[in-house]
Amino acid sequence: MCGICGYYNLKGSEASQSILRKMASAIAHRGPDGEGYYTDRMAALGHRRLSIIDLSDNGKQPMLSQGGNYAIVYNGELYNYKELQKDLIAKGYCFQSKCDTEVVLYAYIEWGEKCLDLFNGMFAFVVYDKVRREFFCARDRYGIKPFYYALVGDTFLFGSEQKAIYAHPLFYHKLDLEAVAEYFTFQNILTDRTFEKDIKILEPGCYFHIGIDQPRIQIKRYWDFDFNEDAAYDNEQDYAQALDGILTNAVNRQLVSDTEIGCFLSGGMDSGTITCIASQTYPHIKTFTCGYDMSKAVGNELGFDERNKSEIMAHAFSTEHYEMILQPDDIERILPMVSYHNEEPRVGQSYTNYYISNLASKFVKVCFSGTGGDELFGGYPWRYYRGMYAADFDEFVDGYYGFWQRLIPTEVLHKAFSPVLGQIKDVDTKAIFKGVFKKHKSEVKTPVDYINQSLYFEAKTFLYGMLMIEDKLTMAHGLESRVPLLDNELVDFAMKMPVKYKLSNLKETLRMNENSPGLKRQDYFLKTNDGKSILRKTMEKYIPKEIDRAAKQGFSAPDATWFRDESLGFVKYVIYDDKSRLWDYMDKTVVRGLVDEHLNGVTNRRLLIWGLLNFNQLLKTWF
């Protein structure tokens, strides 16, 4: 686990190691245990090391092949590397280390691009082929590890974070307002854009070559999500039994480490499942929970603090448990660092991720996360049901798009960005939204088809955004986050599973629609324990009943109340200051009108306020 960076002067001068060192220094937090550099004519590879597997110098990067014709910089963990190593040894390869980096390198030399189909893990890497004079750049299936790149003139730049690219003297900051418009619509960026106009992010499951003889980037996809029912078993019990074994294998596969492992433990099923399984192999594993000052919380916020549930599980699994409590002023205090490390805002109020990562990093170098369970097993039924009765694909997109306008409604977006309207007037956020969906509309016909399309969309966007935030804010503290629920075997199994085993109320929902087509069902289903039914069924013999039967609860703080109360001064300091950087791009009257609705208790716009605070900080930091 580490940070990678580098560049290729495709038609320019010899590579400079001093420039390379500056790029690597910008992401030193990702790899506090060591550094390494490699230059060959116009190519440069840099590495910052976080030692997890094979702590000796044999695991240092950049790593060269025997003979020196190939060099690699690699960020990630390959959980099936020992099996692949055996295959490569049988083909005559000799290994000098015990780490997975060398396996990735020789797998590419042996199988080329096809090696990506064999990898089970998280990764972003670049292999330099000295003979062909090219880079091979690739990213894991799900986007767990980031990979940014830019082509500035005739120089190709890459890095685990944008900061590495910023450090190159050819790079200049230019705000991409189309990406900003995406964010303020979806609280996410659904394309490969970033807030930097010249920097793109390689999409998950993709790769490309670039070099002297191939100076143009042609991205190719080797994998994508495919939620398409293909029943392997006849009943729920058989599915639960199979899932039990697959979950155990997934967690145990990721327990490989030469350093101590811990678990993020909220009060939910996903982290509880992982902690339960890990604790059977790893007794008294350390667990970490973040809670909140709930003294002024109201309404559904009262359930946001999950310390009680996490304590129940910590006791049940005999973990060594640590907790922290966030106060309202913790947002203001840490926002500059959160913005710096995120580089651009994405889903969620990520300051909680920053704090809990900081806590865990004081005790362990690797921490398991439950990310992915909701997207695989249907954790958000109230989202899926709103689109499942569409008359056709266009109606489905219309309804679902309406739900995912998270920050500024489409009809207000252009007014909100009136100072720069000329630069975003042609941005069609609905077309961007529709472009995410994989299947052609003629292939989507039934309610179950629409639910699977919803699962596909959320895996491609919402899950992806969470993975981006999780990587940035754990690595900010030199902490490796692992996501066992995104094990290849587990994902493949979940995607083919019938929806009826994920959503316990599906049958009742279909019946209600037949009897009362116009009936509004959203409030009814919000009150029921519906999503992730098969996961609950599988884990009911392990997880305490208070957790297994509890309703879905997201990882969120009571900041709707905080923004109206204890943090009101901070909100006004930024959003009601005429000199805020926001107003270089946004309309004061429109934006403040939306925020006023929150402060007056008319509408909950906590997500928008968080986005505005982030955007203002980002402008101050980078632009």
Which active-site residues does the annotation give?
A: 2
- From the list 213, 43, 220, 200, the residue with the least C-alpha distance to 128 is 43
CB 75 within 8 A of CB 99: no
CB 257 within 8 A of CB 53: yes
CA dist 388 to 414, 509, 547, Å?
30, 10, 28
User: Residue 596, class by beta-carbon neighbours within 10 Å (0-12 exposed, 13-18 middle, 19+ buried)?
Assistant: middle
Interatomic CA distance for residues 132 and 562, integer angstroms: 57
Angle at which helices 177-186 and 606-622 cross, to 10°? 160
Angle at which helices 588-599 and 568-575 cross, to 10°? 170
Angle at which helices 100-111 and 81-90 cross, to 10°? 50
Three-state secondary-structure class, residue 102: helix
Interatomic CA distance for residues 38 and 60, integer angstroms: 12
The DSSP letter of residue 175 is: B
DSSP 540-588: TTTS-HHHHTSPP--S--SHHHHHHTTTHHHHHHHHT-TTSGGGGTS-H
Strands 220-221 and 148-152: unpaired
Interatomic CA distance for residues 301 and 299, integer angstroms: 5
Who contacts 579 (Cβ-Cβ below 8 Å, separation ≥6)?
A: none
Rg of the chain in Å (alpha carbons): 24
Structural tokens at position 475 = 């690595």
Kindly report the backbone phi and psi dihedral angles of residue 41, in degrees, each rounded to the nearest multiple of 5, phi listed first: 55, -110
Which strand ranges, in their side-by-side order, compose the sheet holding 206-211?
63-64, 70-78, 121-129, 134-139, 206-211, 220-221
Name residue, tokens 């799900």. Answer: 142
Kindly report the backbone phi and psi dihedral angles of residue 116, in degrees, each rounded to the nearest multiple of 5, phi listed first: -60, -30
CB 600 within 8 A of CB 325: no
CB 482 within 8 A of CB 78: no
* Residue at 4: amino acid letter: I
